Structure 1
Amino acid sequence: MKKVLLAFSDGLMAAQLRTVLEQAGFCVCRQCAAFQELVDASYENEEEYVAVTQTKLGRGSITQYAPMVSSRCEILLLLAEGEEYMGRATGLLALPLPTTPADLVESVEMLFETMPARLSQEARTLPPKPKTDEQRELERKVVTEAKEVLMRRNQMTEEQAHRFIQKRSMDSGARMAQIASHILSTDGDMAS
């Protein structure tokens, strides 16, 4: 069954969306009250999700949290009346409100249909894992150092820094150590 995450502050809107999506055959498996909760839910298991959300939730903005969402989760933004389209800037699919139930369902379905092709392409491009314990330990150290840079420079928690590196790794098809090395080289460039 195709699983959907909802992230809305308006309980009535969330209930209406849940009804439309469940009637269309989707499983609304989680309703989130904050973007960090949405990020956490996107990593709970290896399943694919579509997250239906708004651009602002509490004090957070989707532009802050979208890079931390699992690569197995596509995001559909529902834009309030008069709100500008953010899709190009964020790489997210947006749908302006008011919308019809059919448009909502078609948008969610389209995200599910395009997801498997992207994921199978990513799986084909992932480089092999390191072969020795020494190589694995070296990669762990590089990732740890990069997390420390992100925590210091970008004021992330350790968990956020790890998710940031992990997301970039999944999106690019590069190992986490490669992404971490790039972060460390950027930090060195700024210090010089």
Structure 2
Amino acid sequence: MSSIVIALPKIEDARKIRSVLECHGLAVASVCSTASNALSSASELGNGVLICGHRLPDMNYLDLAECMPRDFEMLLLASARVICEVPPSILSVEMPMKASDLINTVNMILMQQERKRRKEKKKPKLRSEKEQNYISNAKMMLMQRNHLSEDDAYRYIQKSSMDSGTNMVETAQMLLMLLYES
């Protein structure tokens, strides 16, 4: 779950923005008036959106962007003059802003982060050298004893794995045990 941190020089402004976001169903984890507090909150939360002004008492937005946790996205609230100088990697909303612009932009960022997390989860985890050896040895045994090509041996292990509901490493281990016993 992504989190929202708001960091503006005037704490009253940050609280007003929190109210707007919460009225639209977005939970704000932290409201602060300094970059150091924002960074502290962000690092505890792990991922999310940091909504900030272009200049905080202890840091400007560019320095803050460099210090942010990797899984946090910055949303800069600034005037048109400041926004024209903002690097493309930083999203921004022009002040004065419409509540709908803020809500839509925050929702867009949160949806992108959710998609990215799902995509990361779907990536197959890398096998250790030991696990890879089990699969390679099982393939070799199948190739020698059953005269299969390497691709066919791999597909056989893969299909057996799916049919039995076990992962490929466990299937390779079972095949090796069966082939050594015979």
| TM-score normalised by L of structure 1 | 0.57
Other-structure match for 1:72: 71
Is 1:114 equivalent to 2:112 in the alignment?
A: yes
Aligned 8 A contact 1:79 1:95 in 2 = yes
Output one character per residue of 1:117-164: Cα deviation in whole Å (capped at 9) or x when no partner. 333445649877999xxxxxxxxxxxxxxxxxxxxxxxxxxxxxxxxx
Q: Give structure 2 stretches of 5+ with no counterpart.
A: 131-182
Output one character per residue of 1:24-74: Cα deviation in whole Å (capped at 9) or x when no partner. 11111111221122122112144x321111111014111112122122221
Aligned 8 A contact 1:85 1:94 in 2 = no
Letter in 2 for 1:27: A
Aligned 8 A contact 1:78 1:94 in 2 = yes
Aligned 8 A contact 2:49 2:74 in 1 = yes
Is 1:101 equivalent to 2:119 in the alignment?
A: no
Output one character per residue of 1:75-128: Cα deviation in whole Å (capped at 9) or x when no partner. 1100135323344x2611001101111111000000001112333445649877
Other-structure match for 1:171: none
Letter in 1 for 2:31: Q
Letter in 1 for 2:90: L
The correspondence of residues 126-137 of structure 1 with structure 2, limited to 5 A, is none
Q: Give structure 1 stretches of 5+ with no counterpart.
A: 132-192
Other-structure match for 2:14: 14
Aligned 8 A contact 2:76 2:93 in 1 = yes
The correspondence of residues 4-43 of structure 1 with structure 2, limited to 5 A, is 4-43=4-43
- Distance in structure 2 (CA, Å) of the matches to 1:125 and 1:61: 39
Assess, with a 3 A threshold, how the Cα gap between structure 1 residues 130 and 101 changes in structure 2: closer, same or farther. Answer: farther
Larger radius of gyration: 2
- Distance in structure 2 (CA, Å) of the matches to 1:119 and 1:86: 30
Is 1:85 equivalent to 2:80 in the alignment?
A: no
Other-structure match for 1:155: none
How many aligned residue pairs are there? 129
- Distance in structure 1 (CA, Å) of the matches to 2:115 and 2:77: 24
| TM-score normalised by L of structure 2 | 0.60
Is 1:51 equivalent to 2:43 in the alignment?
A: no
Assess, with a 3 A threshold, how the Cα gap between structure 1 residues 130 and 13 changes in structure 2: closer, same or farther. Answer: farther
Name the SS of the counterpart of 2:29 in structure 1: strand
Name the SS of the counterpart of 1:83 in structure 2: helix
Is 1:3 equivalent to 2:3 in the alignment?
A: yes
Other-structure match for 2:180: none
